[in-house]
Amino acid sequence: MTAGGAPSERNGRDHNQSRHDVLSAGDADTETLPDCQTCGACCSYSSEWPRFTMETDEALDLIPPQFVAADQRGMRCEGERCSALSGRIGVSTSCTIYDVRPDVCRACLPGDSECRTARWAFGLERSSAGSSAC
């Protein structure tokens, strides 16, 4: 989930473009957007969330098998936390398979409703009020 400006294959856009899109939507300003590399909440919020949906067989084959759930429907989780996440939530995190992460992970953008909901659950977001899906 850590982007740090790294390219995202999704729609040929990079993390900075995604941040711009969130800003353009009026959700937040650059000062309030969370930094994924110090967060990781979305990757630890729910074991039901990191599910495979739109991935091709070729894309799924790139994900190391130790990170895939036994039922093959999503990422393997340890409790609610994705097994591919390293680090400490709210301090310093990174995705160990960032370049081949599933579509659901690519779709979560800094400051979007899923991001803010997960951050709120970890006490990283002050209030869910005013957020579209929180």
What does the block give as tokens for 18? 């995604």
The mean pLDDT value for 100-123 works out to 93
- Where is pLDDT greater, at 19 or 98? 98
Residue 127 — pLDDT band, cuts 50, 70, 90? low
Could you please report the per-residue DSSP string of 9-71? -GGG-BHHHHHHHHHHTTS--TTTS--GGG--GGGTS-TTSSB--S--HHHHHHS-GGGB-TT
- Where is pLDDT greater, at 12 or 111? 111
Residue 90: which of 23, 20, 42, 28 has the closest Cα?
Answer: 42
Tell whether the model's pLDDT for residue 106 goes beyond 50. yes
Q: Specify whether the CB–CB gap between 122 and 116 falls below 8 A.
A: no
| Residue 82 neighbours by CB distance under 10 Å | 27
Tell whether the model's pLDDT for residue 8 goes beyond 80. no
Q: What is the pLDDT of residues 76-101, one digit of tens each?
A: 999 999 999 999 999 999 999 999 99
Tell whether the model's pLDDT for residue 32 goes beyond 80. no
pTM: predicted TM-score of the whole model, two decimal places: 0.70
Bin 55: left if φ > 0, else alpha if -120 < ψ < 50, else beta: beta
For residue 46, what pLDDT is reported? Answer: 92
For residue 69, what pLDDT is reported? Answer: 96
Q: Specify whether the CB–CB gap between 51 and 73 falls below 8 A.
A: yes
**Rounded to a whole number, what is the distance in angstroms from the first to the last CA of the chain?**
20
Q: Specify whether the CB–CB gap between 5 and 19 falls below 8 A.
A: no
